[in-house]
Amino acid sequence: MASPAQVPDCVLAPGDAAALDQALAPLASAVWWIRACAVFNALLGLVLVLSILGIPFGAALGWVAFLEWRAASRIEAARRDRSPGQSLALAEGAMRDIALHYIIQAVLTTSMILLGLLLVAAIGPLVGHLPSMLR
């Protein structure tokens, strides 16, 4: 895992470190949940990869799981690091990971809805003829 680019310490004044800690507090309190979602998404991705149609969805969920885990790690590192510039770089990296996670999740959800509608449209007419086919 590559570390974020070094940001000079002059970006934040020493008093701003407390403001950064305060800004990161809601995310820092949710790190356990972020990691839990990463594990669940990774497991769901593995299950989806077992089917041919699920391979792209499983791969995307694996990517989402990686982004969630990396964001949680960056949040924890930003809270631990006392260098204001490095903390800011880690926090920005975590925010980029979370933003990309939501973009991927939106594309996955949209494509799954469209695929579901396509399957309903393809199978729907067959369901109407099912009683006559069973006779």
Tokens of 50: 């077992």
Flag whether pLDDT at 61 surpasses 50.
yes
Q: What is the dihedral of CA 52, 53, 56, 59, to 10 degrees?
A: -60
Q: How far apart are CA 29 and CA 16, in angstroms?
A: 20
More confident residue, 34 or 8: 34
pLDDT of residue 22: 79
Q: How many CB atoms lie within 10 A of CB 91?
A: 22
Residue in 64, 62, 57 with CA at minimum distance from that of residue 113: 57
Q: What is the dihedral of CA 99, 105, 108, 114, to 10 degrees?
A: -100
* Maximum Cα–Cα distance across the chain: 80
Q: How far apart are CA 31 and CA 34, in angstroms?
A: 5
Mean pLDDT on 2-12: 53
> pLDDT > 70: what percent of the chain?
81
More confident residue, 12 or 44: 44
pLDDT of residue 131: 66
Q: Convert the pLDDT of each residue in 82-129 to its tens digit.
A: 777 788 888 899 999 999 999 999 999 999 899 889 988 888 777 776
H helix intervals, the chain: 16-29, 31-49, 55-80, 84-128, 130-134
